[in-house]
């Protein structure tokens, strides 16, 4: 767009498409339009040069400042994996044993009648059934969600 002074008005600049051009994210038609504009507009051509240099500078920088091996070492740290595995093993093992002893004591307790034992067992088995049902439903839902770890 040419203004009354013969210059290119701001509205005629390619704007954000300059970044798309720089990144190779434009369609062929858009690329052609930007290329033609750059041939005529020194301001946009200069801006493109600056943005290209800025992008290169950002790409060459080291914004993390940490060694590349740090993350691999951390993930493979044997102490972490061992203590985590041991922790889970103890927790699950002790839980199963305590539960088994409790059930055994309850079933062999001579002070409780068979009626009470059946009633209490039915109550806890009911809870267990509901828990398993909900857990199963959740597992099915999670299996069908590819981005289950992605939460906002």
Partner 1 sequence: MQDELAMLGNGAHALAIQILGNRDDAADAVHDAFARVLARPQAWDRKHGPLRPWFLRIVRNRCIDLLRRRRPAGGLVEELAATGPGPDAVLEALQRDRRLERALADLTPEQREIIVLRDYLDLAYAEIAAVLDVAPGTVMSRLHRARLALRKRMEQENDQ
Site stretch for partner 1 (CB under 8 A), options 3-11, 14-22, 102-110, 121-129: 14-22
Sign of CA dihedral 110, 112, 118, 123: negative
Least distance between partner 1 and beta carbon 88 (Å): 11
Q: Which is nearer to partner 1, 4 or 62 (CB)?
A: 62
Q: Estimate the share of the chain in helix, then strand, then coil, as percent rounded to the nearest 5.
A: 70, 0, 25
Residue whose pair of structure tokens reads 């981005």 in the numeric block: 147
User: What is the size of the binding site for partner 1 (CB under 8 A)?
Assistant: 36
Residues 63-102 vs partner 1: string with x where CB under 8 A? xxxx-xxxxx-xxx--------------------------
**CB–CB of 51/34 below 8 Å?**
no
- Contact between 27 and partner 1 by CB under 8 A: the answer reads no
- Contact between 19 and partner 1 by CB under 8 A: the answer reads yes
CA-to-CA distance for 88 and 91, rounded, in angstroms? Answer: 5
Instruction: Give the list of residues 6+ apart from residue 93 with CB closer than 8 angstroms, or none.
Output: none
Residues that bind partner 1 (CB under 8 A): 15-20, 23, 25, 50-51, 54-55, 57-59, 61-66, 68-72, 74-76, 146-152
């Amino acid at each position: 767009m040419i203004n009354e002074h013969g210059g290119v008005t701001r509205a005629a600049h390619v704007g954000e498409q300059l970044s798309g051009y720089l990144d190779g994210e434009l369609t062929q038609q858009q690329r052609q339009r930007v290329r033609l504009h750059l041939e005529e507009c020194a301001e946009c051509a200069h801006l493109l040069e600056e943005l290209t240099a800025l992008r290169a500078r950002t790409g060459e920088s080291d914004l993390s400042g940490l060694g590349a091996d740090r993350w691999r070492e951390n993930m493979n740290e044997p102490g972490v994996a061992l203590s985590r595995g041991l922790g889970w093993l103890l927790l699950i093992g002790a839980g199963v044993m305590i539960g088994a002893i409790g059930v055994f004591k309850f079933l062999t307790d001579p002070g409780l009648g068979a009626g009470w034992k059946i009633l209490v067992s039915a109550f806890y088995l009911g809870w267990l059934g509901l828990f398993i049902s909900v857990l199963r439903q959740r597992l099915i839902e999670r299996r069908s969600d590819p981005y289950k770890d992605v939460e906002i």
